[in-house]
Amino acid sequence: MQIGLFHSIQWPEGSDQSDRYAQALTQACHADALGFDSVWLTEHHFSRHGIVSDSLMVLAHLAARTSHVRLGTAVSVLPLHHPLRFAEAAATADQLSGGRIDLGIGRGYQPGEFRGFGVDIAEKNAMFDEALEVLRLVWSADGPASHSGTYFSFEDAAPQPRPFQQPHPPLWVATDSPGGLAMCAAQDWGVLLPQGTSLTVTEGQMKRYADALADAGCGPERARAYLARATHLAPTDAQAWAEAEGPYREFLGYADRLRQRGTEGRETGGRSPFDLDADLRSSVLFGSPETIISGLEAIRELGIESVMLFMHMGGLPHEKIMASMDLFAREVLPVAHEM
Amino acid sequence: MQIGLFHSIQWPEGSDQSDRYAQALTQACHADALGFDSVWLTEHHFSRHGIVSDSLMVLAHLAARTSHVRLGTAVSVLPLHHPLRFAEAAATADQLSGGRIDLGIGRGYQPGEFRGFGVDIAEKNAMFDEALEVLRLVWSADGPASHSGTYFSFEDAAPQPRPFQQPHPPLWVATDSPGGLAMCAAQDWGVLLPQGTSLTVTEGQMKRYADALADAGCGPERARAYLARATHLAPTDAQAWAEAEGPYREFLGYADRLRQRGTEGRETGGRSPFDLDADLRSSVLFGSPETIISGLEAIRELGIESVMLFMHMGGLPHEKIMASMDLFAREVLPVAHEM
């Protein structure tokens, strides 16, 4: 399996933003040093849920402080970007990292983020589609390209620099709908599966993905899925749960309030990636190294070869996260890499 | 005096983008190691004139590879940015650099860049003004801010992270108009003066700036002006000119074609920052260390305390630029720092 570190840089009440950034960057560099395969950053706006707003910039900074990890967005919220700016930013980060960028893209779900940019959340799917169309246009064009669309129109744009990886960094789409999975299967894009879901839900998602691959004439071995999982290790299960459950529930509760906030009874089109009805025990990797290895084996059996670990939840202290990472690297990572 | 390195990462025909990025980053890190005070990056789009499109991202990367230089944009083209995204990017770079960001802002002048983003260049001044208004709004707000304008409208946006430097990184405005200089004088923002102008033109600009400061009730000692100057050093004047004049004329010619391109007789509102009628001898710093020291003294006498050196022009080879930087650092920088 491939193992990533998934980070959103939350900003709990009473904490300092600069401290939170410094700790997150230290954790990301530690992941690189410990032999993790990737670091993934979310994109969020205007709240304590995550203060990484310019995800590709933070990845470009990490490119200079890490040596081998792949650097991914999980996800860039395409409807909130101008696609030409996004093409430029992705290519710049790709140049600065020597081709280590993975581009996870999604539609967004927090009403406050859309309102904060003056964008109607009801249009997010159409905007996602058009932004992706623009990206594919400029990535495939040999010279200047023009586009006249519903949301974006421009003439003779040839975004520079060009990506280091040609024709573009690998794409990963946050999706579990039949249509989205069919697109990923047809284009050979990866699939990002959300954290917070029970394994039963994940199994259903992988079944739909296998169907989509079959419809595209491919076998299930072509699946490329990266699953996010809240993760915390300690010497015993009891200690791991005692340390992580409170901070994780705090994180989930805040995320759910953001999803609801400001909807005032209207249909927002926003859907949380967190399935809060899931049995907590089957939706996280909290425990001793042995428990985590069993959890990863169960994930691997679903045909999933890559897991990104969400380790900094709520107010969980930096030192506990670093200890959890160390324990993972020592006891679990060598086993996971052989699964 | 303060000495900066000014870079645009040009992409001459036949050169490789990744090589150009790598060389530019090496030069920027070298400037830091040699004791330069700052590194400034332009923002350009869609052409060979400069392939830094996401300037703040490149600065955030350099933050990890340099130790002391200030990191500035010269300039960020405000009409081509969503101001909330710009606020987020500036603050992120400021966090990642521990407060080393300087924000140079301007209106833009290349018609192709505006057309490429589908923005009417005739609106650039109004867009600049509104974008700056939004930035000042969100930098001064304690919580979420709303704005309903001609170009940008949003509700309850509180860009995160907040800048490391409070309330925001130092602003520098590319301007030499009485109105622009009056704004800088009143707000205590710095002024960016363009390269390519003769010293006579620069003297007139500084006179207008002094007038603006006087109108704001300040003496000329309050002036904060950063002047850009094409610069190349070699052991003799003859060698410096032989190496640099061709590449510099090539750079100027290409820049002028971009300014004209696609105007088709229309008034574009675009004005080149390069005064191509200037006597080349009085608008650049090419020569031996002694000649450069004299040139800097002449600039210092105009009341200018900071100069950013534009050293990578046209196809001038990387090794020549590094040698020129070394010579500057050895023979000129200690003298300049005492001026």
CATH code (residue B38): 3.20.20.30
Summarize pLDDT for A194-244 with one digit per residue, the tens: 888 889 999 999 999 999 999 999 998 899 999 999 999 999 999 999 999
- Are residues A13 and A48 in contact, defined by beta-carbon separation less than 8 angstroms? yes
| Distance separating alpha carbons of residues A130 and A128, to the nearest angstrom | 6
Q: Give A179's contacts (C-beta < 8 A, 6+ positions apart).
A: none
CB contact under 8 A, B45 and A95: no
* Cβ of residue B51 closer than 8 Å to a chain A Cβ: yes
**pLDDT for the residue numbered B276:** 53
Q: How does residue A246 score in pLDDT terms, banded at 50, 70 and 90?
A: very high
CB contact under 8 A, A96 and B58: yes
Give residue B101's domain range. 2-338
**pLDDT for the residue numbered A267:** 45
Res A74 pLDDT > 70: yes
Nearest residue, CB atoms, A160 vs list B46, B88, B93:
B46
Mean pLDDT of A9-22: 96
Summarize pLDDT for A139-169 with one digit per residue, the tens: 999 999 999 999 999 999 999 999 999 999 9
DSSP B222-289: G--EEEEEEEEE-SSHHHHHHHHHHHHHHHHHHHHHHHHTT-TT-------S--TTS-HHHHEEEE-H
Q: Which residues of A touch B161 (CB under 8 A)?
A: 11, 17, 21, 51, 53
Nearest residue, CB atoms, B112 vs list A85, A156, A161:
A156
- Read off φ and ψ for residue B124, nearest 5 degrees: -60, -35
- Are residues B119 and B127 in contact, defined by beta-carbon separation less than 8 angstroms? yes
**pLDDT for the residue numbered A290:** 98
Higher pLDDT, A257 or B328: B328
CB contact under 8 A, B21 and A116: no
Q: Is A267 exposed, middle or buried (0-12, 13-18, 19+ CB in 10 A)?
A: exposed
CB contact under 8 A, A53 and B92: yes
Nearest residue, CB atoms, B89 vs list A57, A144, A159:
A57
* Cβ of residue A30 closer than 8 Å to a chain B Cβ: no
Nearest residue, CB atoms, A17 vs list B118, B153, B162:
B162
Helix (H) or strand (E) holding B70: strand B70-77
* Cβ of residue B323 closer than 8 Å to a chain A Cβ: no
Q: Which residues of B touch A162 (CB under 8 A)?
A: 17
| Distance separating alpha carbons of residues B288 and B232, to the nearest angstrom | 9
Distance from CA of B334 to the nearest CA of A (A): 30
- Give the pair of three-digit tokens for residue A224: 């490329």
| Distance separating alpha carbons of residues B5 and B237, to the nearest angstrom | 21
How many angstroms separate the Cα of A115 from the Cα of each of A78, A298, B154? 15, 40, 6
CB contact under 8 A, B155 and A115: yes
**Mean pLDDT for all residues in chain A:** 93
Res A28 pLDDT > 70: yes
| Distance separating alpha carbons of residues A76 and A56, to the nearest angstrom | 9
Question: Coil, strand or helix: which one is B23?
Answer: helix
How many CB atoms neighbour CB B317 within 10 A? 12
| Distance separating alpha carbons of residues B188 and B171, to the nearest angstrom | 9
Q: Which residue of A has its CA nearest to B95?
A: A18
pLDDT tens for chain B, residues 1 to 339: 999 999 999 999 999 999 999 999 999 999 999 999 999 999 999 999 999 999 999 999 999 999 999 999 999 999 999 999 999 999 999 999 999 999 999 999 999 999 999 999 999 999 999 999 999 999 999 999 999 999 999 999 999 999 999 999 999 999 999 999 999 999 999 999 988 888 999 999 999 999 999 999 999 889 999 999 999 999 999 999 999 999 999 998 888 888 777 555 444 444 555 555 567 888 899 999 999 999 999 999 999 999 999 999 988 999 999 999 999 999 999 999 999
Distance from CA of A196 to the nearest CA of B (A): 25
| DSSP structure class, residue B80 | G
| Distance separating alpha carbons of residues A153 and A133, to the nearest angstrom | 12
Q: Would you give the distance in Å from CA A166 to the centre of its chain? A: 22
Q: Is A334 exposed, middle or buried (0-12, 13-18, 19+ CB in 10 A)?
A: exposed
Res A76 pLDDT > 60: yes
| Among B residues 78-107, those touching chain A with beta carbons less than 8 Å apart | 82, 84-85, 88-89, 92-93, 95-96
Q: Which residue of A has its CA nearest to B93?
A: A57
CB contact under 8 A, B11 and A160: yes
Q: What is the 3-state secondary structure (H, E, C) of B273-330?
A: CCCCCCCHHHHEEEECHHHHHHHHHHHHCCCCCEEEEECCCCCCCHHHHHHHHHHHHH
Q: Residues, chain A, total?
A: 339
| DSSP structure class, residue B5 | E
Most A-contacting residue of B61, B119, B156 (CB-CB within 10 A), to test interface: B61
* Cβ of residue A227 closer than 8 Å to a chain B Cβ: no
**pLDDT for the residue numbered A257:** 84
| Distance separating alpha carbons of residues A291 and A322, to the nearest angstrom | 19
Q: Which residues of B touch A7 (CB under 8 A)?
A: none
**pLDDT for the residue numbered A265:** 46
Summarize pLDDT for A304-339 with one digit per residue, the tens: 999 999 999 988 999 999 999 999 999 999 999 999
**pLDDT for the residue numbered B328:** 98
Place of tokens 């003066």: B193
Distance from CA of B10 to the nearest CA of A (A): 11
Q: Which residues of A touch B116 (CB under 8 A)?
A: 84, 144, 154-158
**pLDDT for the residue numbered B267:** 45
Nearest residue, CB atoms, A57 vs list B21, B56, B82:
B56
* Cβ of residue A260 closer than 8 Å to a chain B Cβ: no
Count the domains in chain A. 1
Q: Which residues of A touch B93 (CB under 8 A)?
A: 57
CB contact under 8 A, B57 and A92: yes
| Among A residues 111-170, those touching chain B with beta carbons less than 8 Å apart | 112, 115-118, 144, 152-162, 164
User: CA-based diameter of chain B, in Å?
Assistant: 60
Q: How does residue A258 score in pLDDT terms, banded at 50, 70 and 90?
A: confident
**pLDDT for the residue numbered A310:** 97
DSSP B161-229: SPPSSSS-PPEEEE--SHHHHHHHHHHT-EEEE-SS--HHHHHHHHHHHHHHHHHTT--GGG--EEEEE
- Give the pair of three-digit tokens for residue A273: 């990636």
Higher pLDDT, A41 or B282: A41
**pLDDT for the residue numbered B271:** 52
| DSSP structure class, residue B118 | T
Q: Which residues of B touch A11 (CB under 8 A)?
A: 160-161
